[in-house]
Structure 1
Amino acid sequence: MNILPRFISLCLTLILLSPALAKDLEVKPTLIFGVVPQQASAKLAQSWSPLLALLSQNANIKVQFATAPDIPTFEARLAAGEYDIAYMNPYHYAVFSRADHYKALARERDKQLQGIIVVRKDAPYTEITQLDGKTLAFPAPAAFAASVLPRANLSRLGLSNEIRYIGSHDSVYLAVARGLADAGGGVQRTFANMTPKTREQLRVLWRTPGYTPHAIATHVRLDEALRQRLLAALVFLPGTQAGQAALDAIGFRPLVEASDSDWDDVRALQLGELSQPLKSTEGGAP
């Protein structure tokens, strides 16, 4: 049997179809989107999935959710450049932008980030100064609004506390609700997202001053054309019902383009490096 004519015919067919095949079979690169672990990984993945799915669709690129088991591990992964895009707290951004690892892309519009200190609803405290000598729970040393800002203000007021770092905002709220700590640090968004059973056992005792909120930043290896595609997709989210729902799922306001200078208010605090947690609120301990 002479298979040459059939072979030639097949080759011609492949040549004619190759542009369409190439388009259909094109493998989109995957970008890893790291989210600071303020809450349990499963909860974060569930709430962020709609936004990342729309980002993938509208930017025509595959975006994959990632986080870390705790904030120090997240910091280590930022330092190692494991995330192509990351949602990080203002302190992280101030550090990693200075290290030339990440570049600001977007932030929430008309938002100021405040830390909160919560206590049990039946606790006798009415002023932050009444927490002197008490046990306080925080997510991690470099959790900006939930830890750095409250501790800085406690220090400024001359208070001394036993500090416990317990991994996440959710863990802090649970510890306070269960009486394992007298008070704890968090932010309003994660507090509002707690289960009613836990949230209703707590009340906000105090709020910090406001600062520029978390950054969505890209690693410096991403080219500007790709950054602009990602930015356009993020800014466009409120323009559709699905996009607004995705923002609502994570408690976000509309996103706007960010500039590096937006975080100068955080840099002005001169907080130092991640490896240098504030000392004076820990009874002088190193």
Structure 2
Amino acid sequence: MQKFFIAIIMMFLSSNILAEGKVLKLGVVPQQSASSLAKVWLPLTLSLSEKTGYQIRFATAPNIPEFERRVAAGEYDITYLNPYHYTVFSKSIGLRAIARQKDKRIHGIMVVRKDSDISDLLMLSGVEVAFPAPAAFAATVLPQAHLRLEGVSFMPQYVSSHDSVYSGVVKGLFLAGGGIDRTLSTFPKAQSDQLKVIWRSKGYTPHAFAVSEELSDEETERIQSALLSLNSQPEGMEILTGLGFKTGLMKSEDSDWNDVRALEIDLLK
């Protein structure tokens, strides 16, 4: 895969596409460090640039609260964001969903060290539990709601990203932490092998690719078509697999996230 990515980069460096196209910023929710995200998202931005003729530039934020601020301020033209964030920003700033992972439901998970005696959420009473951010839908909102439903009194600690949660648990800084299957699967194997999942939530509509209301219908359709075309190309599926989208992408519409809206979550004022 590394050779494939290098080939893509060289192709674009030798073309005029990036020099001529309209510049659009793709904002990605910072579930992992900026360097980790850039490594896996750069091939997608390059591919979309080639297919659309626009300059698609990767962007993120140092943490999820700052990402929320930047989304609210309209800093991104295209945004990849969690289900709850989409329901908030589709209403407040008019984000329009164009794609999501195909045949996928997002599940919140709780992890502990593999050698831990903890095997049930009830065993977390009085324990410091790591979460990425207060409004991280599957990694924070869902597990916290379940813990409270079970009457478990815990102490939440917010550590800025999914990777920080997993590394904190591996290092023994926290006995447990919240995350999702996709980010756990892309976490370095040497460390993820030291973790075990002790709880998984029911499934919900996953993260959205959404565009700003400032983009025209023609621009929106061109971006959506470029995303969906990745499904039919071996190199496209390689890019998607690198992002954890092993089932590919599908066209989406705003009502797909009504299951999340039905939870009536109100965390962002």
Q: Same fold (TM over 0.5)?
A: yes
Alpha-carbon shift at residue 26 of structure 1 (Å): 8.1
Q: Which residue number corresponds to residue 111 of structure 2?
A: 118
Gap change, CA 1:180 and 1:26, over 3 Å in 2? closer
Q: Which residue number corresponds to residue 260 of structure 1?
A: 254
Q: Which residue number corresponds to residue 198 of structure 1?
A: 191
Whether the aligned pair in 2 keeps the contact of 1:121 and 1:201 (CA below 8 Å) is yes
Alpha-carbon shift at residue 31 of structure 1 (Å): 0.3
The 2-side partners of 1:26 and 1:84 are apart by 18
Alignment of 1:65-104 (within 5 A): 65-104=58-97
The 1-side partners of 2:233 and 2:86 are apart by 29
The 2-side partners of 1:263 and 1:154 are apart by 24
Whether the aligned pair in 2 keeps the contact of 1:116 and 1:187 (CA below 8 Å) is yes
Count of residues paired in the alignment = 253
Gap change, CA 1:53 and 1:137, over 3 Å in 2? same
Q: Unaligned 5+ residue runs, structure 1?
A: 1-22, 276-286
Q: Which residue number corresponds to residue 237 of structure 1?
A: 230
SS in 2 for 1:270: coil
Alpha-carbon shift at residue 133 of structure 1 (Å): 1.5
Amino acid of the structure 2 residue aligned with 1:213: P
The 2-side partners of 1:173 and 1:54 are apart by 30
Query: 2:197 aligned with 1:208, yes or no?
Result: no
Alpha-carbon shift at residue 196 of structure 1 (Å): 2.1
Whether the aligned pair in 1 keeps the contact of 2:113 and 2:196 (CA below 8 Å) is yes
Alpha-carbon shift at residue 127 of structure 1 (Å): 1.5
The 2-side partners of 1:93 and 1:51 are apart by 21
Report runs of 4+ in structure 1 exceeding 4 Å deviation: 23-26
Alpha-carbon shift at residue 25 of structure 1 (Å): 11
Gap change, CA 1:125 and 1:227, over 3 Å in 2? same
Gap change, CA 1:24 and 1:105, over 3 Å in 2? closer
SS in 2 for 1:146: helix
Q: Which residue number corresponds to residue 222 of structure 1?
A: 215
The 1-side partners of 2:24 and 2:70 are apart by 15
Q: Unaligned 5+ residue runs, structure 2?
A: 1-15
The 2-side partners of 1:25 and 1:229 are apart by 16
Amino acid of the structure 2 residue aligned with 1:261: S
Amino acid of the structure 1 residue aligned with 2:213: V
Which residue of the other structure, out of 241, 247, 253, is the alignment partner of 2:240?
Answer: 247
Gap change, CA 1:61 and 1:90, over 3 Å in 2? same
The 2-side partners of 1:262 and 1:105 are apart by 11
Q: Which residue number corresponds to residue 129 of structure 1?
A: 122
Amino acid of the structure 1 residue aligned with 2:137: F
Amino acid of the structure 2 residue aligned with 1:58: K
Q: Which residue number corresponds to residue 271 of structure 1?
A: 265
The 2-side partners of 1:265 and 1:37 are apart by 24
TM-score, reference length from structure 1: 0.86
Alignment of 1:157-168 (within 5 A): 157-168=150-161
Whether the aligned pair in 2 keeps the contact of 1:81 and 1:101 (CA below 8 Å) is no
Alpha-carbon shift at residue 24 of structure 1 (Å): 9.4
Whether the aligned pair in 1 keeps the contact of 2:18 and 2:55 (CA below 8 Å) is no
The 1-side partners of 2:191 and 2:226 are apart by 35
SS in 2 for 1:236: helix
For the pair shown, the structure with the greater C-alpha radius of gyration is 1
The 2-side partners of 1:192 and 1:24 are apart by 34
| Pairwise CA RMSD | 1.5
Q: Which residue number corresponds to residue 38 of structure 2?
A: 45
SS in 1 for 2:168: helix
Alignment of 1:146-185 (within 5 A): 146-185=139-178
Gap change, CA 1:130 and 1:226, over 3 Å in 2? same
Amino acid of the structure 2 residue aligned with 1:233: A
SS in 2 for 1:174: helix
Gap change, CA 1:37 and 1:25, over 3 Å in 2? closer
Whether the aligned pair in 1 keeps the contact of 2:110 and 2:199 (CA below 8 Å) is yes
